[in-house]
Structure 1
Amino acid sequence: MNAGTTPTAAEAFAACFAQPPRVVASAPGRVNLLGEHTDYNGGLVLPMALRDLCVNVAIGAGDTPGVIDVYSDIFRDTARRAITEAPSSHWSDYVLGAVKAAATEQVSREGIRIALTANVPLGAGLSSSAALEVATLRALATFYGVEADPVDVALRARSVENDFVGMPCGIMDQFASSVGQPGAALMLDTRTLDHTPAPTLTGHRFVILHSGVSHKLTEDGYATRVAECRAACTALGVEMLSDLGPADLGRIAEIASPLDRRARHIVTENRRVEAGFRALTEGDSATFGRLMVESHASQRDDYEITVPETDLLVETALTEGALGARQTGGGFGGALVVLLATERVEDWSDKMTRAFPATHVVAVT
């Protein structure tokens, strides 16, 4: 929880509802260092919860049984949703879904008021939606006096995204936000939920650079990749693509295009996560940077989720001295994560934002 930002949520609640909230909670966004689109394939990921970039949620008692009154400082908008409502492709669906998952009975009796603020940029691939779900579930647990196990919160948050909002994502974003420690990477097996903290690279920083191209993952591209992976599983006779390894690349090459490329990305990306965790453990920044570059190439050529703007930014980032760079998040725009020696960060950031005025540095961690 980020105490430095919680007063903002409290103030937003008080300004909207003319009374102070009873509970304020927050949850961080995340950047994924390696392991893209592997989570819904039962694979390995290496995310990092972000310092100082979070969603904050304030909660107080409502005045109408069965009704959620919610204000978003992000959208400067209010919504009144009934606990019985279906999703409506509105920003408040994430809040409504979290309330349904955790407090349907209580809100049906009493109603509830919620205000939210955030400094996680939308459309950057940094999991603002997962942070909103986790923060809302944390706040509800405190409000109703229920113990909130971090893994259970992550699973509930993913259910909100999958079953209510309609986004067929894996568990990585919610797990990183709920279980991860801000500023520390986490090696996660998304099938077993086994997870291990990863050390930082001494003398190096990860810079998150927004490309200036926003994305919306509920559009067709993401769901199409999920469907393609399921079709590849059928063609290869496996439950999940992460059941496959390097020894299977030959038979993967024999299935129809583009399913062969989608499966190849998952297999090789899982291996990159394993190698990346070893590199972090050994303090090997050069190897980790190389793996980031390979990951971006696989996203571009095999998974086809990059855009020309992020491809050019990665190329330029490396030319300007980065050890590694890749598009991070669900794809089709968003942010880059870039590995730099600490002493290069300021000069590199200045050169990149001058050369590409639509970009900006979101965070350095």
Structure 2
Amino acid sequence: MQRVSNVTDEELLVQVSNAFEAAFGCQPGAVAFAPGRVNLLGEHTDYTGGLAMPMPLNLGVAVAVGPGSEPGLVEFVSETLSETDRRRADDPPAGRWSDYMLGCLQAVASEEIARDGCHCAVSATLPVGAGLSSSAAVEVATLRAANALLGREDEPGELARIALKVENDYVGVPCGIMDQVAASAGVPGLALLLDTRTLDVSPIRLPYNHHFVVVHSGVSHRLALDAYSERVAECARAASELGVADLGELSLEDLGRAIGLAEPLGRRVRHVVTENERVRAGVADLEAGAAAAFGRRMIESHLSQRDDFEVSIARVDALVDGAMRSGALGARLTGGGFGGAIVALVRDVHLDAFCASIRAGFPEARVLAVA
């Protein structure tokens, strides 16, 4: 992983420890890191029991925790946002950045923070609203730090399930589990084949002499929760009408049945089914070293997100087109959509020219990571 941020994971842990000490006058009891992720293929499949191919990044979130100064009081400081917050241990969500952390503390340490209170600091190299799973990284880092403080063992699958429950039930975002699995089980430099129905994870090696480049479009997707929730509901409704528990049960042979569904349900089904097939084919491409074929899957995935799932926007489409004109083998929207980032597959010999072309052609865009 080539790093665009000049802060290493280890430096970020020192940074959050220093922020904790500056805010609370003592050293933290525990610190932990969790990475963000870019999704190479398999978008909007994780809440439908499908397949995905996320890849952890060397951009992430560090959290420091320690006992507080008052029973039941949780005090937060964000070194990244230069903000503080104070919450009661049993507070409901309040639509603030501390919700993600407080929900995790309630999930694993409610008795301890009711008795002792809690101090908590967070630092990040991962941008918010870029579609790189900053929320899951915050959740997993908070859970890891809390468990370390309490002397408990971490198990990646359990961390992912707890983090998902916090995001679904406490924060109120109806996402799937891909982001939490990538943050808890991923290894930078390797992609993951994730079956979201079973949570089986297999490492996938990246193509030799090629790079995946993550580029922020300049448009945050934070205001798109209603549209995202609508897609989740549409997929659930389509599954019900087709008589399956989730769309991940369907194959290409089932697409004929989806034609009779009222629009846009048929197109939503087509995206999920074909996207699962693209993940399967993409794994075979990477195992065979067929980078150009994988790039074509990425383009197919973007077109499906644009036309069948309708989660792209004009600026992202233009950035994907610009990436292809700049020499990428493939490019696609990554993350929930409605803004955020793209990921492009680029030969290493073209990397510098590609990044220069993107910066020149899209001044509002920003290269975030190169893997």
TM-score (norm 1): 0.98
Identify which of 243, 247, 251 aligns with 2:249: 243
- Please, which of 289, 301, 307 is the counterpart of residue 307 of structure 2? 301
Corresponding position: 1:139 with 2:154: no
Give the CA deviation at 1:66.
1.1
Question: Which of residues 191, 211, 216 is equivalent to 2:222?
Answer: 216
| Residues 167 and 218 in structure 1, CA contact (< 8 A), matched pair in contact too | no
The amino acid of 2:199's aligned partner reads: L
Give runs of aligned pairs for residues 146-157 of structure 1, distance below 5 A. 146-157=152-163
| Cα distance, 1:217 vs structure 2 | 6.1
In 2: Cα distance, 1:153 partner to 1:237 partner:
31
Structure 2 residue aligned with 1:12: 19
Q: Which amino acid aligns with 1:223?
A: S
Pair 1:75 & 2:87 matched? no
Is the Cα contact below 8 Å between 2:193 and 2:203 reproduced in 1? yes
SS in 2 for 1:5: helix
CA contact (8 A) 1:43 1:190 kept: yes
Any conservation in 2 of the 1:47–1:185 contact (CA below 8 Å)? yes
Aligned-pair CA distance for 1:4: 3.0
* Deviation per residue, 1:182-230 (Å, 9 max, x gap): 1210000000011110011000000000000111166211000001111
Q: Distance in 2 between matches of 1:249 and 1:195?
A: 27
Q: Distance in 2 between matches of 1:363 and 1:193?
A: 26
The answer on whether the counterparts of 1:296 and 1:327 sit within 8 Å (CA) in structure 2 is yes
> What displacement does 1:346 show?
0.9
SS in 1 for 2:308: helix
Residues 43-122 of structure 1: matches in 2 within 5 Å?
43-51=50-58, 53-122=59-128
Task: Tell me, yes or no, if the aligned pair for 1:66 and 1:83 is still in contact at 8 Å.
Answer: yes
Equivalent in the alignment of 1:292: 298
5 Å-filtered alignment, 1:350-361, equals 350-361=356-367
CA deviation string 1:286-345 (max 9, x = no partner)? 110000000000000000000000101111111121000000000001000000001111
Q: Distance in 1 between matches of 2:361 and 2:324?
A: 14
Give the aligned partner of residue 26 of structure 1: 33
Q: Quote the Cα distance in structure 1 between the aligned partners of 2:223 and 2:200.
A: 26
Would the aligned equivalents of 1:265 and 1:298 in 2 still touch at CA under 8 Å? Answer: yes
Residues 1:197 and 2:203 are matched in the alignment: yes
For residues 262-286 of structure 1, give each alpha carbon's deviation from its aligned partner in whole angstroms, at most 9, with x where no partner exists: 0110000000000111111111101
Query: What amino acid does structure 2 have at the position aligned with 1:138?
Result: R
Instruction: Tell me the alpha carbon deviations over residues 150-198 of structure 1, each in whole angstroms, 9 at most, x when there is no partner.
Output: 1111111111100100000011000000001012100000000111100
Please give the residue correspondences for 1:316-335 in structure 2 after superposition, counting only pairs within 5 Å. Answer: 316-335=322-341
| Structure 1 runs not aligned, ≥5 long | none
Which of 243, 262, 265 is the aligned partner of 1:259?
265
Letter in 2 for 1:250: G
* Structure 2: stretches of 5+ with no match in the other structure: 1-7
1:231 to 237, 244, 255: 237
Which residue identity lines up with residue 114 of structure 1 in the other structure?
C
The residue type paired with residue 350 of structure 1 is A
User: Cα gap change, 1:178/1:79 in structure 2, threshold over 3 Å: closer, same or farther?
Assistant: same
Q: Distance in 2 between the 1:136 and 1:236 partners?
A: 39
Q: 1:234, CA displacement in angstroms?
A: 1.6
Q: Tell me if the contact between 1:166 and 1:218 (Cα under 8 Å) persists in the aligned partners.
A: no
CA contact (8 A) 1:121 1:128 kept: yes
C-alpha separation in 2, matches of 1:134 and 1:167: 16
Residues 37 and 234 of structure 1: is their aligned pair in 2 closer, same or farther, counting only changes over 3 Å?
same
Find runs of 4+ consecutive structure 1 residues off by over 3 angstroms.
none
Looking at structure 2, the residues matched to 88 and 82 of structure 1 have their Cα atoms a distance apart, in angstroms, of 11
Q: Which amino acid aligns with 1:48?
A: M
Give the Cα–Cα distance (whole angstroms) in 2 for the partners of residues 91 and 98 of structure 1: 13
Size of the alignment, in residue pairs? 364
TM-score of the superposition, structure 2-length normalised? 0.97
Aligned to 2:49: 42
Asked if 1 retains the 8 angstrom alpha-carbon contact of 2:267 and 2:309, the reply is yes
Tell me the residue number matched to 2:181. Answer: 175
Q: 1:129 aligns to what?
A: 135
**Contact 1:66/1:110 (8 A) holds in 2:** yes
Say whether the 8 Å CA contact 1:167–1:217 is kept in structure 2. Answer: no
Deviates more, 1:258-267 or 1:13-22: 13-22
